[in-house]
Amino acid sequence: MSALPSDPSDRGSYWLATVPAGADVSHPPLEPGGETDTDVVVVGGGIAGLCTAWELARAGRQVTVVEADRIAAGVTGHTTAKVTAQHALIYDDLRRMHGADGARMYALSQQDAVEHLVATVRELGIECELERLPAYTWAESEEQDEKLHAEAEAAAEAGLPAAYVTETGLPFPVRGAVRVADQAQFHPRKYLMALAEDLVRRGGRIAERTRVVGLEEGEPCRVTAENGATVTANAVVVATHYPVFDRALLFSRLEPHRELVVAAAVPADQDPAGMYITPEDNTRSVRSAPYGDGQRLLLITGESFLPGTADVTERFGRLEAWTRERFPDARVVHRWATQDNSSTDRVPYIGPFHPGARHTYVATGFGGWGMSSGVLAGRLLARYVTGEDLPAWAKLYDPRRLPGLREAPSLLGLQATVAKHFVGDRLRPSHVDSVAEIAPGSGAIVRVGGSRCAVHRDADGQLHAVSARCTHLGCLVHFNDAELAWECPCHGSRFAPDGSVLQGPATHPLEPRDLE
């Protein structure tokens, strides 16, 4: 194994660093100002977008995937890559919010996605480190243990092979756990690079480094890229993690959250042999992956927070300390962060974009479980586009569903949080009084000439100033010191220090500002 940089943050996502040479093929962007005609255009090249495009290509449709950066390198490239229908403590909530039938439909569809991915790996002969393992939700406190009993009952009632247990493969005692058998884990980029290769072989097209900024619905539909390129299609699928076009105002029902990941090498005999998660300690998730040389790579996730609201460096320290406490032989070799969006009723939005949509579709709100939900989205959206009969569970995921009464507290809480930041952040005079207070490698909001500027001082001492207003809906951004990014706490848009878009829903950069 080659020597690694001394700082794990320099290595970022393990998945991005370990795709075999020759597999990580780049795809040219759409020609600036050019025009493309296709049956279906899929906006977004993560797991949901690529799975949808592949399913459609298999059905004989001409498909074009348009990705703002590199395929499978955004949220999908920073996941922990559990493919499971066991989504922590969810089934007891689902049967209360959606009824026992809703919980059963959720379990059926998510487990079907697990099995479909496994079958696809076998069909295409993909080498992606696929392993079938049980998934656990564990607790160490009496309060959470009571919830585990209810969750085990609800998951089993929904049709999953679920049971309450008190023994796990973790190297520390637990009070109890919900165990769900026959789940899976894999290397997401190795899987998706193979899927992309097969998509192209079937006549599909992939355009990377092409950010879509406009959508015209009609017959046909038309999407426009930042470089002036256009794609005309009979149908459009928006699979950009957070919808960059929000005709259904889904942003009012989606809550963004970031989590941190540390990857640590341990001797193979210390592999916990399963996928684990606990809601305690601000979430802790554990799984392992093959690492060679008699080792396994532990992937530890946690420290959930709203973008732009946390000292990320401090939180990485807490997560690494927990890792070393629970796994004393662990040697941290990678670390990164990931982001996802949760719907207020805990069920993703997959289907027609809005009530009047006839040829536009969306997939979003995966709540941290995008591997199974992304595969599910691919199968379901392909059926919508091709006009095939929809499965019984399609209605559960329909983005046009109305909020239920049990969803109201989550919905109101989300709007209160957005309002707090939209209004409250403006009442603060500034984060610092002058740019002189900004240390190298950090950033802050400064009032310059009557307007708020987001100012970053790089390691060489150079200042970079941009507008502090997010280009999505105008909330003020905050600086993430560990990842060197401006983040919007309202809807999760992220920007580089120079203002360029890292993550939507924003599609336009922060405008440059003059400090003189």
Please report, for residues 24, 134, 138, 230, 507, the alpha-carbon distance to residue 50 in angstroms, rounded to integers and kept in the order given: 15, 26, 33, 20, 21
The dihedrals phi and psi of 480, each to the nearest 5 degrees, come to: -95, 110
d(CA 437, CA 266): 42
* Mean pLDDT in order along the chain per 10 residues (516 residues): 44 87 81 96 97 98 96 92 96 94 97 98 97 97 92 97 97 97 97 96 96 94 96 96 74 83 96 96 95 94 85 91 96 92 90 92 94 97 97 95 60 46 44 75 79 84 86 84 84 85 83 80
pLDDT at 68: 92
**Which pLDDT belongs to residue 88?**
95
Whole-number pLDDT of residue 410: 52
pLDDT for 455 equals 85
CA distance 110 to 348: 11
Inter-residue contact 313 to 319 (CB < 8 Å): no
Q: Which amino acid is at 440?
A: P
Residue 7 is predicted with a pLDDT of 54
Q: pTM for the full model?
A: 0.86
Phi/psi at 422 (nearest 5 deg)?
-65, -40
CB 9 within 8 A of CB 206: no
Rounded to whole angstroms, the Cα distance separating 188 from 299 reads 14
Q: What is the pLDDT of residues 318-365, one digit of tens each?
A: 999 999 999 999 999 999 999 888 888 889 999 999 888 999 999 999
**Cβ neighbours of residue 388 under 8 Å, at least 6 residues apart?**
382
DSSP-assigned letters across all residues of 161-176: -EEEES--SSSS--SE
Question: Which residues, other chains included, contact 87 with Cβ-Cβ below 8 Å and sequence gap of 6+?
Answer: 110, 367, 368, 369
Bridge partners for 338 per DSSP? 259
Q: Are strands 254-267 and 295-305 parallel, antiparallel or unpaired?
A: antiparallel
Instruction: Give the pLDDT score at 293.
Output: 87
Tokens of 446: 């400064």
What is the residue type of 446? V
Q: For residue 340, which amino acid is it?
A: D
pLDDT for residue 22: 63
The C-alpha atoms of residue 435 and residue 455 are separated, in whole angstroms, by 7
